[in-house]
């Protein structure tokens, strides 16, 4: 038998206590959730995929959402046990749960740790009560700080998220807030610029002119100060929005960014699976009720299971891998895209981007420079045009 191929497992919990006005994730507010029904359905879909993916080595399990900290801890325990039953677990398997910092959820952190979660990712979003109100969050600054402190005393690894480039946020105000966050001693931080997503309440409010988000030059200045401050405090960016002490990077997200395999379980979850015939893109039915019905009827809620053509695969590997500060190594690109960079990149376009100091290529691989990372979308458009 060949050595097992690495695989990450993503499990989506689609419910939240309330819907934040900026968020376009697949999340829903439900009056009641039948936890044992959901546990059984998630377990069924996991078994369905496990039957198609023999001989895999699990490097990560990630409970995302929605708000998976609203899941019964027993559900996460059952799913972790089932993953361990279907496949082998890597020695230092990373098992992450996304959590909101309300006091109710913090009260269950110990139960999640006992269930096997070894990394908690907390949605702090802001350390300013007015900003938390604007973002429609169900927690305040004090609860967020307490949740981070408590998580640090329970979980071997933690991270928290902040949203910056908020309306009227100055470089000075963000510097102060980020300094405060860094003083809390995190090993990992996800720092996202606020984006206005179509279909959200913020989209309509922004169009009405209720608020404005920072213009491009202020956004750039906020990004620069973020890089400088985090670097100075020992948490350099390893991806556009993610910072870590060396060695504390999120292994699950690295699987996405380096073109590894992951199976997606639960409503709306996506997967990338290399099989003997091809690499398949999978997608589960997004609506919770439709997904549950499909699982009851046939054991899974898959709505897409499509082989990726070579050009699409190359494109997605470049789009993901160039987000990383270290870019893509030649080995990672060869493994994920089955090509050398020189076989697939148009030489003149590549040369122009290298001459403009947006990309670098050498024996190690291909990467964006600092200037390239700031304008990565434009760089990718020029590279892949
Ligand atoms: C699935 S969500 C969070 C999980 C958890 N329910 C929470 O709210 O903390 C993942 C992260 O995406 C970020 N996010 C979501 N929508 C965003 C937006 N429109 N702009 C910037 N960041 C966003 C937030 O920082 C959030 O913590
Ligand atoms: S940001 Fe988190 S809590 Fe808010 S709606 Fe989105 S997934 Fe739910």
> What is the per-residue pLDDT across 103-160, written as a single tens digit (0 to 9) for each?
778 889 999 999 999 999 999 999 999 999 999 999 999 999 999 999 999 999 999 9
In the chain, DSSP assigns E strands to 5-13, 56-65, 88-99, 119-125, 157-164, 188-193, 237-239, 242-244, 262-265, 270-274, 279-284, 302-307, 328-329, 359-361, 365-368
As a dihedral over the C-alpha atoms of residue 240, residue 243, residue 247, residue 253, rounded to 10 degrees, the angle is -50
The single-letter DSSP state of residue 332 is H
Dig out the tokens for 344 from the structure: 């697939």
The answer to whether residues 107 and 191 belong to one domain is yes
Pocket test for ligand 1, best of 123, 169, 200, 270 (most atoms within 8 A of CB): 123
287 part of a folded domain: no
* Residue 192 in contact with ligand 1 by CB distance below 6 A: yes
Q: How far is residue 313 CA from its own chain's centroid?
A: 20
Answer whether the bond into residue 305 is a cis peptide, omega within 30°.
no
Dig out the tokens for 180 from the structure: 């405060």
Number of domains in the chain: 2
The single-letter DSSP state of residue 15 is B
266 part of a folded domain: no
**pLDDT interval class at 3 (50, 70, 90):** confident
Pocket test for ligand 1, best of 24, 165, 192, 223 (most atoms within 8 A of CB): 192
The atom number, within ligand 1, closest to the CA of 68 reads: 6
Say how many Å lie between the CA of residue 203 and the centre of ligand 1. Answer: 15
Tell me which ligand sits closest to the C-alpha of residue 19.
Answer: 2
Average pLDDT of the segment spanning 329-354 = 92
CB 283 within 8 A of CB 267: no
> From atom 4 of ligand 2, which residue's Cα is the shortest distance away?
20
The answer to whether residues 217 and 116 belong to one domain is yes
* Residue 67 in contact with ligand 1 by CB distance below 6 A: yes
The answer to whether residues 228 and 97 belong to one domain is yes
270 part of a folded domain: no
The answer to whether residues 220 and 125 belong to one domain is yes
Tell me which ligand sits closest to the C-alpha of residue 136.
Answer: 2
The answer to whether residues 350 and 202 belong to one domain is no
CB 314 within 8 A of CB 338: no
pLDDT at 74: 97
> Which protein residues touch ligand 2 with a CB less than 6 Å away?
16, 19-20, 23, 25, 27, 65-67, 100, 123
> From atom 14 of ligand 1, which residue's Cα is the shortest distance away?
23
pTM across the whole model: 0.96
3-state SS class at 24? coil
154 part of a folded domain: yes
Domain extent, residue 191, equals: 5-256
What tens digit of pLDDT does each residue of 45-60 get?
999 999 999 999 999 9
The atom number, within ligand 2, closest to the CA of 16 reads: 8
262 part of a folded domain: no
Last residue of a domain, one of 256, 279, 297: 256
CATH of the domain at 165: 3.20.20.70
CB 12 within 8 A of CB 66: yes
346 part of a folded domain: yes
The answer to whether residues 214 and 348 belong to one domain is no
Q: Looking at the predicted structure, is the pLDDT value of residue 365 above 90?
A: yes
Q: Looking at the predicted structure, is the pLDDT value of residue 102 above 90?
A: no
What tens digit of pLDDT does each residue of 59-85 get?
999 999 999 999 999 999 999 999 999
Say how many Å lie between the CA of residue 14 and the centre of ligand 2. Answer: 9
**pLDDT interval class at 1 (50, 70, 90):** low
Instruction: Select from 343, 143, 91, 368 the least CA-distant residue to 237.
Output: 368
């Amino acid at each position: 038998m060949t050595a097992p191929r690495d695989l990450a497992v993503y499990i989506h919990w689609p419910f939240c206590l309330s819907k934040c006005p900026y968020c376009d994730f697949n999340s829903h507010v439900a009056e009641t959730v039948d936890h044992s029904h959901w546990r059984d359905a998630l377990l069924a879909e996991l078994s369905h995929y496990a039957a198609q993916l023999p001989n895999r080595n699990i490097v990560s399990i990630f409970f995302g959402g929605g708000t998976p900290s609203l899941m019964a801890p027993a559900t996460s325990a059952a799913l972790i046990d089932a993953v361990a039953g279907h496949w082998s677990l890597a020695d230092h398997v990373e098992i992450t749960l996304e959590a909101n910092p309300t006091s109710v959820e913090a009260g269950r952190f110990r139960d999640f740790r006992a269930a096997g979660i070894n990394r908690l990712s907390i949605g702090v979003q802001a350390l300013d009560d007015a900003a938390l109100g604007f973002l429609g969050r169900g927690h305040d600054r004090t609860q967020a700080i307490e949740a981070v402190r408590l998580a640090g005393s329970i979980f071997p690894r933690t991270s928290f998220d902040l949203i910056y480039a908020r309306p009227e946020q100055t470089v000075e105000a963000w510097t102060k807030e980020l300094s405060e966050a860094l003083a809390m001693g995190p090993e990992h931080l996800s720092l996202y610029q606020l984006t206005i997503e179509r279909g959200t309440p913020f989209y309509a409010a922004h169009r009405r002119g209720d608020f404005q988000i920072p213009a491009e030059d202020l956004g750039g200045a906020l990004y620069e100060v973020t890089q400088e401050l985090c670097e100075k405090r020992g948490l350099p960016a390893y991806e556009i929005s993610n910072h870590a002490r060396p060695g504390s990077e999120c292994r699950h997200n690295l699987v996405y960014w380096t073109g590894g395999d992951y199976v997606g379980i639960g409503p709306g979850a996506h997967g990338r699976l290399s099989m003997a015939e091809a690499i398949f893109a999978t997608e589960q039915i997004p609506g919770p009720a439709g997904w549950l019905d499909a699982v009851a009827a046939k054991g899974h809620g898959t709505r897409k299971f499509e082989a990726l053509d070579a050009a699409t695969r190359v494109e997605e590997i470049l789009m993901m891998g160039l987000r990383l500060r270290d870019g893509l190594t030649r080995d990672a690109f060869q493994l994920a895209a089955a090509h050398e960079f020189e076989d697939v990149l148009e030489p003149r376009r590549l040369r122009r981007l290298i001459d403009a100091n947006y990309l670098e290529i050498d024996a190690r691989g291909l990467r964006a420079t600092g200037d390239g990372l700031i304008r990565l979308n434009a760089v990718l458009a020029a590279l892949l045009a």
